[in-house]
Structure 1
Amino acid sequence: MNAPDKSDETQVSSTPSPAQVAKQAASSALHFSPEAIKDAEKWGRVEGETVYVDDGGENREVGPASSPDPLVFYASRYLRLMDKIKTFSSSLDEGELKNRDIFAKLKELSAAVKDPKAVGDMQALRSAFESVKAKADSVIEANRQKYSEAIAKSVAAHQKIVEEAEGLVSSIGSSTNWKQMSQQFQDLFEEWKAAQSSDVKGANKEVEALWTRFAAARSEFNRKRKEWVKAKIAKKNEAKAAKEKIVEKAEALSSSTDWAAGSKAYGKLMDEWKKAGRASREDDDALWERFKAASDRFYSSRDRKGEEMEEDEK
């Protein structure tokens, strides 16, 4: 692409000073081919100290003729404008421009091609602008479509996560695997964070509403899990209390010499033990040791008494 002279880049639509014309006319040929300069010069003329351009059949004043070859300066301005339009067109083809940047560039070029202080084919210049404007309008519409699709995709991704979370909560029952469900909620939260990294601004309001639902589902899950833990602890405490009573009865029976009644009572206590449920492992183990020790004392005493009776009968 031909590189513009920065000193004159922002002056396309303004009248240059004589010093600018004198300074830049000599270097203009370095930026564009002699053929391009000459083609543009055809549309201009110098009359006295003023340069004019044929703009749709009208001789429009462009600026002062302040150098030996002022048409070169004004022709290069025209070619720079054409280059800016071509560069903008290429940028549109690359598909990286956002709509706000496109609007800004269109505004800039629209002002630049209205009555430029330049010499060249003004009809071709404005035709080139209208062409690139039509392309820009298409890109703007395509960007809007992509933006709408991105919003819909973002909302759908978050919606799916929310529905899965709410589905998990509604499935909670007596057979719920709480550890597994906790992991499922953690996985959904990681999915949410991944989806959030690709969010588009336009989806914020809907995504915020979905986050409220997701957070509510997680809170409900945590509430029900706490209730389950509380109930589980209460059940273990009930089992512990029941087994403590069983152990106390077993220990009271351990010194009994009514062997028949004692054996029957221990059998009944064993049935009660099985029906009492599970306490914590630590409590269960400690209480079982006491229960077993009591029953062992009773049965050991019974067995010794039986052996003594056998000896007496000999």
Structure 2
Amino acid sequence: MTSHEWGRVAEDGTVFVRTAEGERSVGQYPAGTPEEALRFFTERYAALEFEVGLLEQRIRSGVLSPEEAVASVRTVREQVVGANAVGDLDALATRLDALAPVIEQQREARRAERAARAAESRVEKERIVAEAEGLAEGTDWRNGANRLRELLDTWKALPRLDRASDDALWRRFSTARTTYTRRRKAHFAEQQERREGARAVKERLVREAEELATSTDWGPTAGAYRDLMREWKAAGPAPRDVDEALWKRFRTAQDTFFGARDAANARVDEEFAANAVVKEQLLVEAEQLVPVTDLDAARRAFRDIAERWDAAGKVPRERMRELEGRLRRVEQAIRGVEEEQWRRSDPEKSARADEMVTKLESAIEKVEADLARARAAGDARRVQELEENLASRQAFLEMARRTSSEFSG
């Protein structure tokens, strides 16, 4: 018999292992020596010991989840307990038992981590729901749909909550998305309907504009184009491609008409250029009447100039304001002199001014008489009052006389 610290080999080649529960057979090795038999079964133990060490390393590093770790420990334990190997199998089992607290600690840590992630997920999902509900009530039709898709992707990446909470928040989020989508579709359907209505209106306006393009009734037709333009703006946008094509036709019709009108006006202005020369000469005569020194002569001369002015005919449109303005200033200067003369010779005002002079003179005579009596009586206070009254009335009399002289002058 050959013996080993953890086992022995019997004479018949049977190999035994020693454990805390006693000795048990692990197999036979009849083909070799007892030393070779022990080496064979201790190498099996070494393989088991290596596997236990590797499992310890993986569990302590956190590579395995607690559930995976428990299953792995169970599997290796079964291998150790019934192992056909020679070595300290009890020590290996003890090392495996020592992993239980480590696994439980990791389980608690993961549970706390999941709780923290769930709390963060709840906050984030509630924020997502609130933003989605805000978008559902808003009118950001351009960016809202893209934003809701981004929120959905964010939602999918977040950990689930407990079933009831997660389902409740999802229903709110889903309802918000549905509400937004329904309102967005209704908006664009309504917008499309308005655009189609605008298309019909603008097609009619284009036809009318094209019918007017060859008109030579310049004034009324220009007004008609202004009315068409107001209608065009009020109609709103048609579908983009249609709107651009219709606008091009509308502008072409406008340009055709106004181009013809401008050409016609240019020809007319050329014909009227000689009339402007005549009126410039008449203005030289008219402006020599100012300042007015002889009103009657100025009136007669201006009437003659005005008759010749009318007879001279039309002038180019760009000269009308300038020439008419210069003539109007001469007319206003003559009229101003007429009004001033009338104001100065107004009979009613002149009579009122003369009446005021007479009344003041009569009142001054009475005050002078009262003043003479007060002086004779030696009444100093009364004398002072009357002297002040007399001075005031004399000042008013002087003003009244000047006013009367203006009307009589």
If the length of structure 2 is used for normalisation, what is the TM-score? 0.47
- Aligned pair 1:125/2:88, yes or no? no
Whole-angstrom distance in 2 between the partners of 1:121 and 1:257: 120
Whole-angstrom distance in 1 between the partners of 2:224 and 2:177: 50
Change (3 A) 1:227 1:215: same
RMSD over aligned Cα atoms: 5.0
Whole-angstrom distance in 1 between the partners of 2:62 and 2:88: 29
- Aligned pair 1:287/2:250, yes or no? yes
Quote the residue 2:78 is aligned against.
111
Letter of the 2:252 counterpart = E
Change (3 A) 1:239 1:133: closer
- Aligned pair 1:42/2:1, yes or no? no
Whole-angstrom distance in 2 between the partners of 1:47 and 1:258: 133
Residue number among 54, 68, 72 corresponding to 2:34 in the alignment: 68
Change (3 A) 1:308 1:61: closer
SS of the residue 1:106 aligns to = helix
**What does 1:25-40 correspond to in 2, within 5 Å?**
none
Whole-angstrom distance in 1 between the partners of 2:107 and 2:27: 36
Whole-angstrom distance in 2 between the partners of 1:74 and 1:62: 8
Deviations 1:248-287 (A, max 9, x none): 666469758696x777666555544443334423212322
Change (3 A) 1:287 1:77: same
Shift of 1:127: 1.6
More helix by share: 2
- Aligned pair 1:54/2:18, yes or no? yes
Change (3 A) 1:229 1:170: same
Shift of 1:87: 1.5
SS of the residue 1:96 aligns to = coil
Quote the residue 2:57 is aligned against.
90
Q: Which has the higher contact order (CA 8 A, sep 6+)?
A: 1
Task: Work out whether residues 206 and 249 of structure 2, in 8 Å CA contact, stay in contact via their aligned partners in 1.
Answer: no
Residue number among 48, 63, 68 corresponding to 1:81 in the alignment: 48
Shift of 1:89: 0.3
Quote the residue 2:195 is aligned against.
236
Change (3 A) 1:117 1:256: closer
Letter of the 1:131 counterpart = A
Change (3 A) 1:71 1:199: farther
Deviations 1:37-71 (A, max 9, x none): x9xx2233444434434322633344336332233
Task: Work out whether residues 162 and 210 of structure 1, in 8 Å CA contact, stay in contact via their aligned partners in 2.
Answer: yes
Shift of 1:101: 3.9
Identity of aligned residues (%): 27
Shift of 1:222: 5.0
Deviations 1:213-232 (A, max 9, x none): 76776665555444433333
Structure 2 residues not aligned, in runs of 5+: 276-309, 313-409
Change (3 A) 1:253 1:163: same
Q: Looking at CA atoms only, which structure, 1 or 2, has the larger radius of gyration? A: 2
SS of the residue 1:289 aligns to = helix
Task: Work out whether residues 195 and 237 of structure 2, in 8 Å CA contact, stay in contact via their aligned partners in 1.
Answer: yes
Task: Work out whether residues 253 and 298 of structure 1, in 8 Å CA contact, stay in contact via their aligned partners in 2.
Answer: no
**What does 1:186-225 correspond to in 2, within 5 Å?**
187-188=150-151, 191-192=153-154, 221-225=180-184
Change (3 A) 1:228 1:42: same
Shift of 1:88: 0.8
Quote the residue 1:102 is aligned against.
69
- Aligned pair 1:167/2:127, yes or no? no
Change (3 A) 1:47 1:223: same
Letter of the 2:34 counterpart = P
Shift of 1:109: 1.9
Q: How many residues align?
A: 267
Change (3 A) 1:239 1:73: closer
Quote the residue 1:8 is aligned against.
none
Deviations 1:74-110 (A, max 9, x none): 3333333332211210111232224554244222222
SS of the residue 1:179 aligns to = coil
SS of the residue 2:98 aligns to = helix
